[in-house]
Structure 1
């Protein structure tokens, strides 16, 4: 059944909490998409930063996952998630408002840009961990694939719109001024969260040390073969893919000499592909099985990133638009299947730590990839760095196709087998 058909409409109509989360998430993604385009353009155009700085800036929003992800995951499991999301959104609004203010008053600088991106990244860690935990509690286990598909699809559509708008605004009124859109969308997201009414499962306060709980989260993340395989696949893809993605601004604006409009179109194409992938993931999973969908999802994604190597000015940019669309759909299929499995198998009281530990590894790779992209761009050139990224990304589908899950048709069937080992991993040490 198509994920956008009557069944999906019934889910949105009957579940007010899911609807509130979806609205909040969608507008949050819209604002983040604007910021994702605006920040590197501010560095490249308004501040004339180096290629290394432009590439490394992309990693600042993901570096907090590597540094603080596990610690924040413990806090998210101890606190009401709705409260965490409201505070995180508020912090993000205040921090990113400094950038257009700095542009208007003349104190905008590269250190301020990096600092704002890092603090906004810390706020995003809190928000996204709490959001993932609430989705698990807002729908039934059988609705997870459908719900995650809807959120992924609507988020990808919002991402496409945000990146297109940001590309146009950056050229029309300046990248710093484009961030005002992000502030408006954050307010809408805050208002949607006010309507959320979920009876949250929050772990009772305990005297156990934070380091012990962090260790439990990491141990749980590696407790079963499916969780390990999904994590390794994501980590390899993020490391390789983000090397290429981090250099997209430099490749388009400097190497090819194209405009911010083409940059926005390329990024929007990936998001439109993500919308297509998110809204079709549930139907494809039911038709072919979630296992084959997860295993083969990244194969076309590799060719999508490889399209960046054949870009030429003018109409030659259309190869990249097509490739980024394919890449976006591939990533969405992979994310929906992997996220749904983790939410099915994970106890509510462990969800924050599982999300933190898994994203510390997989999203931590995004931060490392951005730094590595900057170094490679300075040493072997932008196109050479993209080649390295594509080569590393090829390892992700190989791990999926030839790894421990190669013969599994339905990942859902592994949930019961995974639970005993997972419970043992989550059990406190004596």
Structure 2
């Protein structure tokens, strides 16, 4: 399954010539569609079905990502020792069972917020192992010169899923309720596992070493935090995740509770972000080649707080929170509600576009400059700290929204995202170019 090539990007073969990647792409796409249905369904389940608060939403979000903070560094070493395809299949099956359990418990009326936190923590633990295996398997499926393009294709699928999945989820949750919508995501994980099972076992054996665990973890940390370009990128991204998690916690509460637009409104807003992301990922590789990886990512990151400023203006335009009011159908929305959702939708459109531009470039750059034996640990290091920031930001966003109002929480997200962009702008990463820094396949094998 491994591929070796050091051809220039311009003459690199098409991704469709690598059937294992095509199947891997299909499995990822199937799972992505279910994930965005779950994003809407869980928010409605917590805030509407269970009558929860923004703080409850924040606690569940934190539980989803806490395993990255607790086990993330060890996961990278563990994944290096195991067949990555097996880890991915097991992660998909386990997450499907957990979501099915959440749906059945909720339908039976026995689901509480503490129980949901525990179940989502288990879900996040499996997601952690799958994420590490996902990123470390990709370089075995395509040449390193195609990594940025491969990541762009994966993210395009993700953003298409976000566009349609979010919009469909709103209507689906309205029709069949949130618990049963979760069963669809469970089915998507089972289908993804079935597709992954068709992949041949990697020809490259898992990495084994006589090094002790703490030394292997330290090696991954040193690679990320001593690299002249990865270090500022990592620090900026850590800050970004705090701001993004505040937004992710507060926005569903604004749509469902403050503006009363229901699951349909939340699905439409998520669809706007998905449309923007499709646009961003479509032009990402082209912009990266024209302007350079670093400069393009800096510009995309600066655009994001500007987009969130539009979102923060929406509750003001709507005349403040409309607690107790609910408009299940867009036909019931008043003029100021339409203006508010236009602001939120436009902000999410630009935010998604900026994320779509930077996502493939960031992932491709990190993979290209990292030797294959360190990719799992590099990925685990970055992801564990990034997701650890969500454990801080999500409850903080819920607490701010509960005590000071959603508007204050949204402006806090704006401020943190602005800080993240300034950190990247003022670093040497702004001059980074993947063409100058990446390792070829032959060089990677000698490291």
Same fold (TM over 0.5): yes
Secondary structure of residue in 2 paired with 1:363: helix
Which residue of 2 is the match for residue 181 of structure 1?
184
Corresponding position: 1:405 with 2:408? no
Rounded Cα–Cα distance in structure 2 between residues aligned with 1:169 and 1:17:
33
* CA deviations over 1:295-318 (Å, ceiling 9, x no partner): 211122112222211223234201
Secondary structure of residue in 1 paired with 2:429: coil
Which residue of 2 is the match for residue 142 of structure 1?
145
Corresponding position: 1:327 with 2:330? no
1:30, 1:185 within 8 Å by CA — same for their partners in 2?
yes
Q: For residues 179 and 10 of structure 1, do their structure 2 counterparts lie closer, same or farther at Cα, with a shift above 3 Å needed?
A: farther
Rounded Cα–Cα distance in structure 1 between residues aligned with 2:113 and 2:55:
12
Q: For residues 394 and 105 of structure 1, do their structure 2 counterparts lie closer, same or farther at Cα, with a shift above 3 Å needed?
A: same
Pairing 1:42-81 to 2, within 5 Å after superposition: 42-81=45-84
Rounded Cα–Cα distance in structure 2 between residues aligned with 1:66 and 1:333:
27
Rounded Cα–Cα distance in structure 2 between residues aligned with 1:369 and 1:215:
26
Picking from 391, 397, 411, the partner of 1:387 is 411
Q: For residues 42 and 279 of structure 1, do their structure 2 counterparts lie closer, same or farther at Cα, with a shift above 3 Å needed?
A: same
Rounded Cα–Cα distance in structure 2 between residues aligned with 1:215 and 1:187:
35
2:292, 2:431 within 8 Å by CA — same for their partners in 1?
no
How far off is 1:32 after superposition?
1.4
Secondary structure of residue in 1 paired with 2:110: coil
1:40, 1:57 within 8 Å by CA — same for their partners in 2?
no
Corresponding position: 1:414 with 2:417? no
Which residue of 1 is the match for residue 297 of structure 2?
294
Corresponding position: 1:252 with 2:255? yes
Which residue of 1 is the match for residue 130 of structure 2?
127
Which residue of 1 is the match for residue 197 of structure 2?
194
Which residue of 2 is the match for residue 372 of structure 1?
396
TM-score of the two chains, using structure 1 as the length reference: 0.91
1:8, 1:146 within 8 Å by CA — same for their partners in 2?
no
Across the aligned residues of Structure 1 and Structure 2, the Cα RMSD in angstroms comes to: 2.4
Which residue of 1 is the match for residue 380 of structure 2?
356
Rounded Cα–Cα distance in structure 1 between residues aligned with 2:11 and 2:287:
15
Can you give the 5+ residue segments of structure 1 that lack an aligned partner in the other structure? Answer: 1-6
Which residue of 1 is the match for residue 286 of structure 2?
283
Picking from 152, 157, 165, the partner of 1:154 is 157
Rounded Cα–Cα distance in structure 2 between residues aligned with 1:198 and 1:9:
25
Task: Give the number of equivalent residue pairs.
Answer: 416
Picking from 71, 74, 86, the partner of 1:83 is 86
Can you give the 5+ residue segments of structure 2 that lack an aligned partner in the other structure? Answer: 1-9, 319-336
Secondary structure of residue in 2 paired with 1:139: coil
* CA deviations over 1:111-149 (Å, ceiling 9, x no partner): 221122111111111111101111111111111111111
Rounded Cα–Cα distance in structure 2 between residues aligned with 1:203 and 1:224:
25
Secondary structure of residue in 1 paired with 2:223: helix
1:134, 1:200 within 8 Å by CA — same for their partners in 2?
no
Pairing 1:7-18 to 2, within 5 Å after superposition: 11-18=14-21
Picking from 97, 101, 109, the partner of 1:98 is 101
Q: For residues 171 and 8 of structure 1, do their structure 2 counterparts lie closer, same or farther at Cα, with a shift above 3 Å needed?
A: farther
